[in-house]
Amino acid sequence: MSRIGKKPVPIAGGVKVTPSRQDAGTRVSVEGAKGKLSFDFRPEVAFEVREQDVLVQRVSDTPFAAAYHGTARALLANMIRGVSEGFQKSLEIVGVGYSAKLQGKSLVLQIGFSHPVEFDIPEGLVVETPAPTKVLIRGASKQQVGEFAARIRRSRPPEPYKGKGIRYEGEQVVRKAGKTFGSGE
Task: Classify residue 138 as exposed, middle or buried by CB count within 10 Å of its CB (0-12, 13-18, 19+).
Answer: middle
Its sign, for the CA torsion 10, 150, 173, 117, is: negative
Domains of the chain listed by start with CATH number: 9-84 (3.90.930.12), 87-168 (3.90.930.12)
Sequential pLDDT tens for the chain (185 residues): 568 888 999 998 899 999 988 878 899 999 999 999 999 999 999 999 998 999 999 998 999 999 999 999 999 999 999 999 999 999 999 999 999 999 999 999 999 999 999 999 999 999 999 999 999 999 999 999 999 999 999 999 999 999 899 999 999 988 998 888 766 55
**The model's pTM:** 0.88
How many CB atoms sit inside 10 A of residue 144's CB? Answer: 18
